[in-house]
Amino acid sequence: MELKLKDEDAAFRQEVRQFLQENLDESVSRLVRLGYGVPKPVQDEWTRTLNARGWAAPNWPVEVGGTGWSMVRRHLFELEMKSHHAPELQGFGFSMVGPAIIKYGTEEQKQHYLPKILNAEISWCQGYSEPQAGSDLAAVRTRALIDGDDYIVTGSKIWTSAAEHADHIFALVRTNPDVKKQLGITFLLIEMDRPGITVEPLIAFNGKRLWNQVFFEEVRVPRNQRLGEENQGWTVAKNLLGNERLLVSRVAENRRILSCIQEVMQEQSTRGIKVDADQELRLNQLKISLEALDATALRLLSAFDHGGTIGAEPSMLKLRGSQLVQEMDRMLFDLIGYYGLPVDSQMLAEEAEPVGPDYCDRVANGLFHHRGYTIAGGSSEIQHNIIAQAVLGL
Ligand SMILES: Cc1cc2nc3c(=O)[nH]c(=O)nc-3n(C[C@H](O)[C@H](O)[C@H](O)COP(=O)(O)OP(=O)(O)OC[C@H]3O[C@@H](n4cnc5c(N)ncnc54)[C@H](O)[C@@H]3O)c2cc1C
Nearest residue (by CA) to ligand 1, atom 39, is 382
Question: Quick one: 265 and 332 in the same domain?
Answer: yes
Shared domain check, 252 and 225: no
Query: What are residue 153's DSSP bridge partners?
Result: 144, 219
Q: Which long-range contacts (CB under 8 A, 24 or more apart) does 371-379 make?
A: 371/326, 372/210, 373/250, 373/322, 373/325, 373/326, 374/319, 374/322, 374/323, 374/326, 376/159, 376/161, 377/241, 377/244, 377/245, 377/248, 377/318, 378/135, 378/241, 378/245, 378/315, 378/318, 379/135
Residue type, 290: L
Instruction: Let me know if residue 130 belongs to a domain.
Output: yes
In this structure, which residue's CA is closest to atom 32 in ligand 1?
A: 135
Instruction: Read off the CATH number of the domain in which 361 is found.
Output: 1.20.140.10
Whether residue 107 lies inside any domain: the answer is no
**387 CA to middle of ligand 1, Å?**
17
Cβ of 222 below 6 Å from ligand 1: no
Cα separation, 269 vs 263, whole angstroms: 10
The per-residue DSSP string of 321-376 comes to: HHHHHHHHHHHHHHHHGGGG----HHHHSTTSPPSSSGGGTTHHHHHHHGGGGGTT
Residue type, position 36, single letter:
Y
Q: Evaluate: CB of 128 within 6 angstroms of ligand 1.
A: yes
379 CA to centre of ligand 1 in angstroms? 6
271 CA to centre of ligand 1 in angstroms: 44
Q: What is the pLDDT of residue 141?
A: 97
Alpha-carbon separation of residue 310 from 2, 77, 198, 296, 302 (angstroms): 24, 21, 38, 13, 11
- Alpha-carbon distance of 215 to 198, in angstroms, equals 5
- Domain C-terminal end among 201, 231, 261: 231
Q: Is the CB of 385 under 6 A from ligand 1?
A: yes
Residue 162 CA: nearest ligand 1 atom is: 8
Are residues 345 and 318 part of one domain? yes
From the CB of 212, is ligand 1 less than 6 Å away? Answer: no
In ligand 1, the atom with minimum distance to the C-alpha of 136 is 29
Q: Which atom of ligand 1 is nearest to the CA of 375?
A: 53
Does residue 344 lie within any of the structural domains? Answer: yes
- Ligand 1 probe mutation, 142, 323, 375, most atoms within 8 A of CB: 375
Instruction: Output the tens digit of pLDDT for each of the chain's 394 residues.
Output: 455 778 898 999 999 999 999 999 999 998 888 777 788 999 999 999 999 999 999 989 999 999 999 888 988 998 899 889 999 998 899 989 999 999 999 999 999 999 999 999 999 999 999 999 999 999 999 999 999 999 999 999 999 999 999 999 999 999 999 999 999 999 999 999 999 999 999 998 777 788 999 999 999 999 999 999 999 999 999 877 766 666 678 988 899 899 889 988 998 889 888 888 999 999 999 999 999 999 988 888 778 778 777 778 888 999 999 999 999 999 999 998 888 876 555 555 556 666 667 777 778 888 888 999 999 988 999 999 999 999 888 8
SS3 label, residue 239: helix
137 C-alpha vs ligand 1 centroid, how far in Å? 9
Q: Is the CB of 376 inside a 6 Å radius of any atom of ligand 1?
A: yes
Last residue of a domain, one of 44, 64, 89: 89
Same domain assignment for residues 279 and 348: yes
Angle value at C-alpha 252, between 255 and 263, nearest 5 degrees: 25
Decide: 43 and 93 in contact? Cβ < 8 Å. no
| CA–CA–CA angle 137, 141, 146 (5° rounding) | 125
Q: Establish if 372 belongs to a structural domain.
A: yes
- Residue 1 pLDDT: 43
Residue 238 domain-assigned (yes or no) = no
Residue 374 Cα, ligand 1 centroid: separation in angstroms?
9
The pLDDT score that the predictor gives to residue 279 is 92
C-beta of residue 181 within 8 angstroms of C-beta of residue 138? yes
Is 379 close to ligand 1, i.e. is its CB under 6 Å away? Answer: yes
Protein residue closest via CA to atom 48 of ligand 1: 379
For 3, the 3-state DSSP assignment is coil
Pair (272, 353) in one structural domain: yes
Distance 75 CA to ligand 1 centre (A): 26
Ligand 1 pocket, residue 126 CB under 6 Å: yes
Tell me, what's the pLDDT at 236?
A: 93
Ligand 1 pocket test target in 123, 124, 135 with most atoms within 8 Å of CB = 135
Q: Residue 139's domain is classified under what CATH number? A: 2.40.110.10
Same domain, 18 and 58: yes
Residue 178 lies in a domain: yes
How far is it, in rounded angstroms, from Cα 252 to Cα 79? 5
What does the pLDDT read at residue 305?
74
Helix (H, G, I), strand (E, B) or coil at 290: helix
Domain annotation covers residue 110 = no
- Does residue 132 line the site of ligand 1, with CB under 6 A? no
Is the Cβ atom of 134 under 6 angstroms away from ligand 1?
yes
Same domain, 81 and 202: no
Examine the domain organization and report whether 257 and 384 are in the same domain. yes
- SS3 of 141-191: CCEEEEECCEEEEEEEECCCCCCCCCCEEEEEEECCCCCCHHHHEEEEEEE
Q: Which amino acid is at 192?
A: M
Of 75, 82, 44, 79, give the one whose Cα is nearest residue 59: 75
Atom of ligand 1 minimally distant from the CA of 380? 47
| Last residue in a domain, options 231, 260, 279 | 231
Q: Which helix (H) or strand (E) holds 385?
A: helix 380-390
- Report the pLDDT value the prediction gives residue 231, as an integer from 0 to 100: 97
Clarify whether residues 270 and 381 are in a common domain: yes
Rounded (10°) CA dihedral 62, 85, 282, 368: -100
Residue 133 alpha carbon, nearest atom of ligand 1:
26
- How many whole angstroms separate alpha carbon 42 and alpha carbon 29? 11
Domains: count for the chain: 3
Q: Is the CB of 381 under 6 A from ligand 1?
A: yes
DSSP calls for 20-65: HHHHS-HHHHHHHHTT----HHHHHHHHHHHHHTT-S-TTS-GGGT
d(CA 191, CA 271): 54
Query: Could you tell me the pTM of the whole model?
Result: 0.90
Amino acid letter, residue 74: R
Judgement on whether residues 268 and 225 belong to the same structural domain of the protein: no
Q: Compute the distance between CA of residue 104 and CA of residue 59 in angstroms, rounded to an integer.
A: 16
Same domain, 309 and 355: yes
Domain that holds residue 340: 248-390
Ligand 1 centre distance from Cα of residue 127 (Å): 13
Write out the H or E segment, with its range, that includes residue 199: strand 197-203
**In a shared domain, residues 214 and 258:** no
The residues that bridge with 221 in the sheet, in sequence order, are: 151
In a domain, residue 185? The reply is: yes
